[in-house]
Amino acid sequence: MSAAVTRVDPTRHLLSIADLDRDAIEELLDLTDTFVEVGRRAIPKVPALRGRTVVSLFYEDSTRTRLSFETAAKRLSADTMSFAVSSSSVNKGESVRDTIETIEAMGIDAVVVRHKSSGVPAQIARWTNAVVVNAGDGWHQHPTQALLDAYTARSHLGSLDGRHIAIVGDVKHSRVARSDIEIFTALGAKVTLVAPPTLLPAHTSAWPVEVSHELDPLLGSIDVCYLLRMQRERMTEALVPSLREYTACWGLTSARADRLRDGALIMHPGPMNRGVEIASEVADRPNAVITEQVANGVAVRMAVLFLLLGPGRAQAAALTDVPAVEAAAVEGPAAIEVPETDTATPTTATPTTATEDHP
Local structure of residue 113 (DSSP, 8 states)? E
Nearest C-alpha neighbor of 163 from the set 251, 250, 258, 261? 261
By CB under 6 A, which span of 160-168, 177-185, 268-276, 342-350 interacts with ligand CP? 268-276
Distance of CA 84 to the CA centre of its chain: 21
- Is residue 141 close enough to count as binding ligand CP by CB under 6 A? no
Task: Between 310 and 359, name the residue whose CB sits nearer to ligand CP.
Answer: 359
Task: Between 136 and 310, name the residue whose CB sits nearer to ligand CP.
Answer: 136
CB of 133 vs ligand CP, minimal distance in Å: 13
Spatial separation of the C-alpha atoms in residues 237 and 239, rounded to whole Å? 6
Please, are residues 14 and 144 in contact by the beta-carbon 8 Å criterion? yes
Chain positions 61 to 90 lying near ligand CP, rule: CB under 6 A, are: 62-65
Please, are residues 164 and 192 in contact by the beta-carbon 8 Å criterion? yes
CB of 112 vs ligand CP, minimal distance in Å: 11
Which amino acid is located at 144 in the chain? T
Spatial separation of the C-alpha atoms in residues 30 and 349, rounded to whole Å? 10
By CB under 6 A, which span of 76-84, 254-262, 263-271, 281-289 interacts with ligand CP? 263-271
Task: Between 58 and 306, name the residue whose CB sits nearer to ligand CP.
Answer: 58
One symbol per residue from 120 to 139: x for binding ligand CP (CB under 6 A), - otherwise; what is it? ----------------x---
Spatial separation of the C-alpha atoms in residues 144 and 24, rounded to whole Å? 13
Q: Which of 99, 145, 174, 315 binds ligand CP (CB under 6 A)?
A: 145
By CB under 6 A, which span of 56-64, 124-132, 256-264, 278-286 interacts with ligand CP? 56-64
By CB under 6 A, which span of 18-26, 98-106, 267-275, 344-352 interacts with ligand CP? 267-275
- Is residue 232 close enough to count as binding ligand CP by CB under 6 A? no
Local structure of residue 132 (DSSP, 8 states)? E
Measuring CA to CA, how many Å separate 170 from each of 17, 201, 239, 314? 20, 9, 10, 38
φ, ψ of residue 90 in degrees (nearest 5): -55, -35
- Is residue 269 close enough to count as binding ligand CP by CB under 6 A? yes
Cis previous bond, 311, omega within 30 = no
Residues near ligand CP (CB under 6 A) are 62-65, 136, 145, 269-271, 357-359
